[in-house]
Chain A
Amino acid sequence: MAVKDIKKLSLETLAQEQQRPTADEAIRLHVKGESRFICDEPKPERLHYATVVVSPYAHARIKQIDAETAKQIDGVVGVFTWRDIPGENELGIKIKDEPLLPENIVSYIGQPVAVIVAATPAIAERACQAVSVDYEVLEPILTIERARAKNSLLAPEFGLSAGDTEKGFAESDYVLEGVITSCAQEHLYFETQRVRAIPGEGAEMLLQSSTQSPSEVQTLAARVLGVDRKDITVDVKRLGGAFGGKESAAGLWSCLAALVCYHLKLPIELKLSREQDMAWTGKRHPFESSFKVGFDKAGRIHAYAVEFDADGGACADLTMAIMQRAVLHAENAYHIPNIKVLARPLKTNIAPNTAFRGFGAPQGVFVIESVIQRIARKLGKDPLEIRKLNAYQEQDGAPYGQQLHEANVLPLLERLEEHTDYQVLKEKVREFNRHQRFIKRGIGIVPVKFGISFTTPFLNQGSALVHLYADGSVSVSHGGIEMGQSVNTKVARIVAAEMGVPLQRVKIESHNTKRTANTSPTAASTGADINGNAARNAAREIIDRLRPLAVQLLERKYGHAAKRILFENGYAFSADAPQERLTLRELAVQAWQSRIDLSAHGYYSTPRLNFDWETGRGTPFSYYVYGCGLVVAEVDLLTGYVTLKEAHLIHETAQTVDERVDRGQIEGAFIQGVGWCIFEEVVYDSQGKNLTESLTTYKIPAIGDIPEKWSIEMIQAEREFAGVKGSKAVGEPPFLYGEAAFFAVKDAIESIWDYTIEADLRMPATPESVLRAIDSVSNKRA
């Protein structure tokens, strides 16, 4: 059998032949090593390298910066500080609290205070050491507890409520209170933060930035340079992973490169090493949440009050938006009649925490899911029973008033139960535990209801620019950023289907602020929805312009008038007589020569959205994604090591645009969620220095850590409430299934005492955390 046949063989597993990748699709380029990331592009002539001098203190006053020695080093071409910023020294979008380079106060370790440019990275690095900065050290705030005590806030606290919690508690049989913590997480995108700034003529500048938000980078660069956005072009081909870590966080590095490029008129590369990236950039927000829950004997929740305290780090960044999503997901998949949620965005002296897949939802959901576990233990019931009892039903309203349509919590949980043969599985686990002394197994289940749309309503808009060339091939620019989630593959499929062209004739271009303007970040799982719809609109417009011409040409060619023209497989033909057809190429040439516009800009804004934080009421989401996950974990009681024995995920993709892509998103997000819950620990020392600033000390899941048995069921039902072409967004929601792994570990530990006691297991459930939890139960019993 030839290699060609091998390809066919494994292709049998694919849903559609149509999904075969095309020669220049990213996946083909990746496997051949031909895909290019910023630093893989040929170097521009006279490329120079920028590095930054950063603050070694979490909180200090800059007294003096002495760069004279550094400037004397051979090969150094410049050292720049806040004094060199021609425009506004500000990176904050809503809340203006983040200088590009601080004038006076440094507020976290790793905050840039000066930029050095040199002929080689090594010289630049050496020059960094030669800059001496004189600081007056100030007292830092390094913990949530301390920030709360000092009322150190990034913005006023906010929240929302529904019903009457006090009344709800009064009517409950039981009331429990407690504190639940969730931890930080390093993004660990494989490609670290980087940018190339290339000067053009006059005020022109090109930024090749590894960013999820090219328009924001453009806005900020224009702001700090005091030029127009028209002078700055941001171009992004693809990112080597982002996960939210390049949504707002890329702005700083891009602007630093832009600043020095502006002064030196030299092409500049600024690239963080892995250690710098880990030590200096913000993480997922750790939350400390105090809750109070009231429920009846059956386990039905009557009232739930929760206060989220998030460590936002030194600047507001996206903290407010992240906490908003946490608040809007506080009840997860459960109908809670009386609820009160409060969010406190705390300011500390660590690097500004930022967007990370799930964007606050995982933190919010983790609290209510932990609470459910407690209710179950309190009542001596199966946690699944409590979950089912409280699950949202069709037409229930969320606390903020949005009606749930096609609410798929209970049906999916029941499906999961059936699929895993839950009662038998549970009995098997208990049987195992009865016979094992040093290892125990446990089961964890988490249902998910995840709202799709930016909670900042105006961001829910997408745009695209489509050209049909006179040879019948198609170029598409859209507002999304390709970062591994395959938004380009999805948009290409959508356009190909809309225009009836074979996939290999559609080219997705880099994101360029000259071709699509005022774009939203590629975030909140909305990339394919908003930009796919925009591209679809543009494609449709071009096709609509071609229709009359196609009628004319078909009539001229075959002698009779076509009523309805279809476009498929590169042909235009009459619905009644498919064999009488024109190639799209013929049609395009004719259109061009008939002076018909073959280019279209497409736009899309998500309908139905309105939400008002003043009242805490409205429709923040265009639809919800539903799913649930079950994990069986095994815990070694002597070493604390966790092994995932089984994972079963049921996830609603609705009518997926690309099944393989969606499966990959589910798998990847789940393992990242497992990483957050079990493996990944960010450790700071008492001075606010990140001690886990390399892969040697920070451990993400490796291939040996994935579940031994793993099933994923994608529910591909038709849904009225869905995204582009009846599909549902998939980027973030499956991250939350990782929490099932945490509860499985906890369940395993609690089996030691026959599920009568709650183990105080802290996230992440590392060996140390597991052993401590076992110890805490033992001590409680002693």
Chain B
Amino acid sequence: MKISFYLNRDLVHADVDPHLTTLVYLRESRGLTGVKESCNEGDCGACVIALGERTEQGMCYHAVNSCLYPVVRLHGKHVVTLEGIHDADELHPLQAAMENEHGAQCGFCTSGIILSLFCLFLRNATPANEDILQALDGSLCRCTGYASILRAARSVAAQVRMDEDIENHLTPAYFSGIPERLDSIDELIDENRKLAVAARDYFIPEDLHELFEILENVDNPSKLTLISGDTDIMVGVNLGKFQPQKIVDLHRIREFTCISRDNGLITIGARATLSDVLDNEEVRRSFPALTEAVRQMCSTPIRNVATLVGNVCTASPIADAIPPLLAYGATVVVQSIKGTRQVPLRDWFKSYRKTALGHDEVVVAIEIPIIDCLASFEKTGKRKTLDIATVNSALAVQVMKGHFETVRLFFGGVAAVPFEAEMTSEFLTGKEAGEAVIYEASRIAAKEISPLSDVRGSLEFRRQLAANHIIKHFTKLMPSLFE
């Protein structure tokens, strides 16, 4: 499959195997060995690169895990590695600061860390401490204990604060010519797409019409795998646990939307990444528990690629966005050549990792009604960032005259599919808000679930977490009850 993109300063035309990851491509075919592989499943950040895309607001650079990023998606983009962040012989201010603060010991994580910070500083040249921590939430380092890395990042922010001129040095001079040069690549796309379809086992439809054509005409639709961010699918592929026979890559579908609001609904389209959701003010205002869930999901470079729709489609019992979406009463919008149908999210999960999606269908959006309620999300794993939940939960409740009304409580990690705690909800409904009632509810919740023991926690632990989450939700939503 032929693709064209900018790799640092250079235009690259390449004929690539669509099944390759960007990491393998950069190391093996381009000799860019500064990009490192340490886990090959998105969990360490050693492979992070900066990926530039044209948007309405101009070029936008995101940190991306190259080990999970299909190489074909580089088409039309600007790939930046350590070689491309500085002009001539000068070090980029971040490189200089990392050197001065000794922010690299063995050096294996360093490339990913600098590129993650690079993307942060392009967006925000004077990041606060929390911004730095968030930008590096997908980057592990086994050597430094992170202190020197933090000092390096802070020192660059401090330098910019002292002298704004330095901000100009954060972007290499050649970057200014990139958007124009990317425009010229566009012409190649048409030809490219045809090649894509011709590849037979890797399809990149441009619109829904083409997509449905593929879905209709394929001899065995069960052999097709749809991918959005590909973060979930690619992990399985890299570990040799899943071999998709035919891939339909949805990233170019023209009709897919991002996030919009009307008629008391917020619609999160299939294009919306978790980062889009996290940064969206409307979502934050209307669905704080969803924003909180997304904030605790994955890591910055994964969120930059993974989609919310993808999360819902995994139907994973520990998918973090699902409990809050359930609590807010979300609906899945599904489309096929026959038309559109709406599936309440509660009816979406059929069995372990199986959804109500038909073979000829695709999810185009999630719709969430804006309702007036108190809602909260909780997640407990082994680590507060970049971890899969042992138990997660979301609670949405309306309180009228000191009484609980319409209680919706959902758990993840306690059953094969996301679990609705009906008994607990029912118990709470109509009760007067108070500590004793909440404690009783927490006992009911612990009994209502029947979790398993696994590597993330024992059955007893999960029960206890379920109980404690209920208390935790109310301590956040109605702290005065506990005084």
Contacts and interface: CB of A to CB of B under 8 A. Distances in A.
B229 interface: no
Interface stretch (B250-258, B283-291, B362-370, B465-473): B465-473
B384 A704 contact: yes
Given A32-B91, A485-B105, A660-B102, A696 B83 contact: no
Interface of B: 31-36, 38-41, 43-44, 46, 81-83, 90-93, 95-111, 114, 133, 136-137, 139-150, 155-156, 159, 163, 165-166, 169, 239-240, 378, 380-388, 390, 454-458, 461, 464-465, 468-469, 471-472, 475, 482
Nearest to A26: B107
A10 B155 contact: yes
User: Which of B38, B97, B102, B239: most chain A Cβ within 10 A?
Assistant: B102
B166 A1 contact: yes
Interface in A23-63: 26-37, 39-40, 42
A768 B145 contact: no
A52 B415 CA distance: 37
Contact of B137 (A34, A191, A438, A702): A702
Given A13-B100, A32-B34, A438-B471, 15 more contacts: A1-B165, A2-B169, A6-B93, A10-B97, A27-B99, A33-B83, A35-B107, A192-B38, A641-B380, A664-B148, A683-B455, A705-B385, A706-B150, A768-B457, A771-B464
Interface residues of A, number: 85
B142 A672 contact: yes
A325 interface: no
Contacts of B32: 33
A668 B105 contact: yes
A569 interface: no
A703 B136 contact: yes
B41 A695 contact: yes
Nearest to A186: B142
A671 B383 contact: no
Nearest to B32: A33
B36 A190 contact: yes
A424 interface: no
B95 A31 contact: yes
Nearest to B388: A696
Interface string A310-353: 00000000000000000000000000000000000000000000
A1 B158 CA distance: 13
A285 to B, nearest CB: 19
A772 B240 CA distance: 36
B100 A11 contact: yes
A190 B385 contact: no
A661 B455 contact: no
Contacts of B156: 6
A297 B378 CA distance: 47
B471 to A, nearest CB: 6
B166 A4 contact: no
A706 B110 contact: no
Given A31-B91, A31-B99, A694-B41, A189 B385 contact: no
A695 B39 contact: yes
Interface in A637-686: 638-641, 660-661, 663-664, 667-672, 679, 681, 683
Contact of A239 (B38, B106, B456): B106
Contacts of B101: 10, 660
B43 A704 contact: no
Contacts of B110: 30-31, 33
Contacts of A35: 107
A190 to B, nearest CB: 4
B106 A191 contact: yes
A481 to B, nearest CB: 11
A768 B386 CA distance: 18
B146 A484 contact: no
A672 to B, nearest CB: 7
A696 B318 CA distance: 13
Contacts of B36: 190, 240
Given A33-B82, A704-B137, A766 B382 contact: yes
Given A37-B108, A190-B109, A274-B38, A703 B100 contact: no
Cβ-closest 5 pairs across A and B? A33-B34, A484-B106, A33-B82, A30-B107, A671-B145
Interface in A244-293: 273-275
B90 A4 contact: yes
A33 B81 contact: yes
Interface string A683-699: 10000000110111101
Contacts of B482: 437-438
B147 A27 contact: no
A735 to B, nearest CB: 11
Given A31-B114, A40-B33, A241-B106, A696 B383 contact: no
A683 B454 CA distance: 10
Interface in A91-123: none
7 contacts: A3-B93, A26-B107, A32-B95, A275-B239, A438-B471, A664-B145, A669-B145
A183 to B, nearest CB: 13
Nearest to A30: B107
B41 to A, nearest CB: 7
- Central interface residue in A190, A672, A701, by most chain B CB within 10 Å: A190
